[in-house]
């Protein structure tokens, strides 16, 4: 979906196709399916029409014995319902505790309950959880408009997502929302105990249509034995194909288990830079400038492409220096952590590499940050563990 309300295109209101109301038996199959593909769909805002579109795409594929498509859908016109998506139809899973309830999708208890329920219901070998809604970089996703005014809506913070999914048998986390492909989110999940192998997210905006669920679903149904890595790669590739004509967007698959190594390597680099910032400030500024992607025109100027910063630093660091060696180690770690990046066109012109980082364009926008909710940024573990210190050093604070 698009970013939070200040940064999205207008939505046209449309009618909805009625769902069936037959209850699904609660007993799980003795031998579970290979995959459960679950959408945590919060359209209790302005996204109902696009929720219906995406469900219709899944209905064109439909669940099989090996793949179950499930959607917890909270609309703006009624309570939440949990649906099993069959071929051309849906079946209500009425024994889920939040089915038929006016649900706060910004409550992490709902997310955790869904994961637990799907585990007992299907016992799938692999589970994908797709967080579907407006995304807002380091704030989070799933803004529920039944929970307050526009400035005080409840939503899932990255801390809440990390805690809700910590230790859960989730193979892939996908974010069908803007701006969640940030190193801050990936790191937050890892340090909070999320064991999912992959995180699929965009560095910038996701158009209103969202992911191309029809083609993704077709691929999964045709090859239900695909690994979490393979499915993550498919989602990225199908997304890039879908938005390859006039869309300044991209999607990447991030290997979460490698994020700690990336961050460890990062602190080695930033320590060198910070210790001699008077010498390296121009080099860092050059990297930051080159890492500015085309989507800054949509309001994402405070987020830049993370690998690009350090590619510039590595290239221009003095030959044989510790900085050059450490920057090279960081880039090697990033290649392992983010192997699949799918930019649409013309996004590919800028060469995004799959992870953004918070790096405001000036001292003033960093220190007096209002639009970007800068007061919240220190709550991110990535910020606490070293990035804020690095920014303070760069801006001379």
pLDDT digits (tens, 9 = 90+) for 263-272: 999 999 999 9
What distance, in Å, lies between the first and last C-alpha atoms of the chain? 36
pLDDT tens digits for range 63-90: 999 999 999 999 998 899 999 999 999 9
- pTM attached to this predicted model: 0.91
Q: Long-range contact list for 388-397, CB < 8 A, 24+ apart?
A: 389/270, 389/274, 390/270, 390/273, 390/274, 391/359, 391/360, 391/366, 393/273, 393/274, 393/277, 394/273, 394/277, 394/281, 394/284, 394/285, 395/363, 395/366, 395/367, 396/277, 396/363, 397/363, 397/367
- Residue 293 pLDDT: 87
Q: At what angle do helices 277-290 and 259-275 cross, to 10 degrees?
A: 130
| Sign, Cα dihedral of 98, 100, 102, 104 | positive
Q: Taking 70 as the threshold, does the pLDDT of residue 24 lie above it? A: no
Nearest to 92 by CA among 105, 103, 79, 77: 79
pLDDT the model gives residue 6: 35
Name the residue with tokens 């690095």. Answer: 390
User: If you search the block for the tokens 């926008």, which residue do you land on?
Assistant: 365
Structure-model confidence comparison of residues 375 and 230, the more confident one: 230
- 107: pLDDT strictly greater than 50: yes
* pLDDT, position 333: 98
User: 148 and 104 in contact (C-beta within 8 Å)?
Assistant: no
């Amino acid at each position: 979906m698009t970013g939070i309300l200040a940064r999205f295109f207008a939505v046209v209101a449309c009618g909805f196709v009625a769902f069936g109301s037959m209850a699904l038996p609660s007993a799980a199959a003795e031998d579970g399916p290979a995959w459960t593909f679950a959408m945590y769909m919060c359209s209790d805002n302005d996204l109902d029409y696009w929720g219906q579109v995406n469900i219709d795409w899944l209905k064109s594929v439909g669940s099989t014995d090996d793949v179950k498509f499930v959607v917890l859908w909270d609309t703006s016109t009624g309570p939440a319902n949990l649906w099993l998506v069959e071929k051309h139809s849906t079946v209500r899973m009425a024994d889920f505790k939040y089915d038929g309830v006016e649900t706060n999708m910004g409550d992490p208890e709902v997310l955790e309950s869904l994961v637990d329920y799907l585990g007992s219901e299907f016992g799938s070998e692999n589970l994908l959880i797709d967080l579907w809604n407006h995304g807002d970089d380091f704030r989070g996703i799933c803004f529920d408009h039944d929970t307050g005014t526009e400035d005080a809506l409840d939503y899932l913070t990255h801390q809440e997502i990390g805690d809700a999914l910590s230790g859960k048998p989730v193979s892939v986390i996908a974010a069908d929302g803007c701006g969640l492909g940030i190193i801050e989110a990936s790191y937050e999940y890892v340090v909070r105990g999320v064991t999912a192998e992959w995180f699929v997210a965009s560095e910038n905006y996701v158009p209103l249509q969202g992911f191309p669920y029809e083609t993704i679903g077709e691929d999964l149904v045709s090859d239900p034995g695909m690994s979490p890595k393979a499915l993550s790669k498919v989602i990225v590739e199908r997304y890039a194909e879908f938005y390859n004509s006039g869309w300044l967007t991209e999607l990447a698959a991030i290997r979460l288990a490698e994020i700690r190594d990336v961050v460890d390597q990062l602190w080695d680099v930033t320590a060198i830079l910070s210790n001699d910032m008077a010498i390296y400030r121009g080099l860092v500024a050059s990297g930051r400038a080159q890492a500015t992607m085309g989507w800054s025109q949509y309001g994402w100027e405070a987020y830049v492409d993370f690998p690009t910063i350090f590619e510039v630093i590595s290239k221009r660091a003095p030959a044989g220096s510790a900085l050059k060696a450490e920057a090279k180690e960081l880039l090697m770690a990033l290649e392992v952590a983010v192997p699949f990046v799918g930019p649409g066109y013309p996004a590919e012109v800028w060469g995004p590499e799959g992870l953004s980082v918070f790096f405001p364009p000036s001292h003033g926008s960093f220190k007096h940050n209002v639009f970007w909710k800068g007061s919240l940024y220190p709550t991110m573990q990535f910020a606490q563990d070293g990035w804020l210190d690095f920014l303070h050093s760069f801006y001379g604070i």
